[in-house]
Amino acid sequence: MRIDVVTIFPQMFQAVENCGMSRVAIEKGHLELGFWDPRDYAEDSYRRIDDRPYGGGPGMVMQAPQVTRALRAAKSQASGKVVYLSPQGRTLTQERVREFAGGPNLVLLAGRYEGIDQRVLDAEVDEEISIGDYVVAGGELPAMVLIEAMVRCLPGVLGNHESIDAESFSNGLLDWPHYTRPEEFEDRSVPSELLGGDHDKIRRWRLKQALGQTWLRRPDLLKDKHLSDEEASLLREFKIQTLEQGQESSQ
Ligand code: SAM
């Protein structure tokens, strides 16, 4: 997959290019990144790309001609959608990440200052995506969030594909708790269900924890989820155990 990013700070993406799973994805040829700096499309020697907003007020706005030229250059390389990272966009979900990762290519547009001249967004952008209800200084970190989330979903990138399917949000539940050696740590033990190699016991414990953690932390996720008989009974057990533990600790 190819992702082109329109940004005045391409150097920030060294973190994605040089570290972790995205670096491996690039090395293995699963991911190709391209960068387009609007400053390279400015017409003055100061490489200016921003100006004061019409109507007054604080801050600066990225100018339409420079951003449009950079975007069109990027689009000439990648045939996919243009996505503007914006706090006003639809909040990113794991489902949307998977859809993006299914291709085709993407062009990501990162804003700075007060944002980008609206005429660029009206004419060139297919979709706006937010990483949450808060405002960061630029679209670069949101673009990297999207890239890193997508990379994990690209076929062949994760060694063990099961690990995506079992992760939070993939099946409408949060992930179960994880443990590794040592078996005892500061008087706290690994749950006995995970020891001894009984695969069905382990599966049921994990499913029960995933259901229970989702009920405790994100009950909204359970509202529209259809539970199988087994899932409903495991969740009931989890709720009873949690209530009993609460009563014990309050005595
Ligand atoms: N004036 C804008 C507003 O209030 O909606 C915020 C501009 S913000 C300081 C500069 C840039 O950061 C935006 O153009 C956008 O690209 C990016 N940005 C900020 N918060 C974001 C978020 N939550 N999700 C995605 N992009 C964001």
pTM for the model stands at 0.94
Average pLDDT value over all residues in the chain: 95
Q: Please tell me whether residues 174 and 127 are part of one structural domain.
A: no
- Boundary-marking domain end, from 151, 177, 202: 151
Same domain, 119 and 175: no
Given 103, 121, 151, the domain boundary residue is 151
Pair 140, 74 in one domain: yes
Domain holding 47: CATH number? 3.40.1280.10
Determine if ligand 1 sits within 6 Å of the CB of residue 85.
yes
Residue 106 lies in a domain: yes
Domain match, 212 and 89 both = no
- Which residues constitute the domain of residue 223? 168-250
Cβ of 122 less than 6 Å from ligand 1 = no
Q: What is the CATH number of the domain that holds 176?
A: 1.10.1270.20
Q: Which of 82, 60, 75, 10 is nearest to 39 (CA)?
A: 10
Quote the DSSP letter at residue 41: G
User: What is the mean predicted confidence (pLDDT) over 21-32?
Assistant: 96
Position in ligand 1 atom list of the atom nearest CA 134: 23
Q: pLDDT value at position 164? A: 74
What per-residue confidence (pLDDT) applies to 248?
A: 86
For residue 128, pLDDT beyond 80 = yes
99, 191: one domain: no
**pLDDT digit string, tens, across residues 235-247:** 999 999 999 999 8
**Looking at the predicted structure, is the pLDDT value of residue 81 above 80?**
yes
Q: What band does 161 get if pLDDT is binned at 50, 70 and 90?
A: low
Phi, psi of 94 (to 5 degrees): -60, -35
- Count: domains in the chain: 2
Quote the ligand 1 centre to 136 CA distance (angstroms).
6
Q: How far, in Å, from the CA of 137 to the mean position of ligand 1?
A: 6
| Percent of the chain surpassing pLDDT 90 | 89
In this structure, the answer to whether residues 25 and 123 fall within a common structural domain is: yes
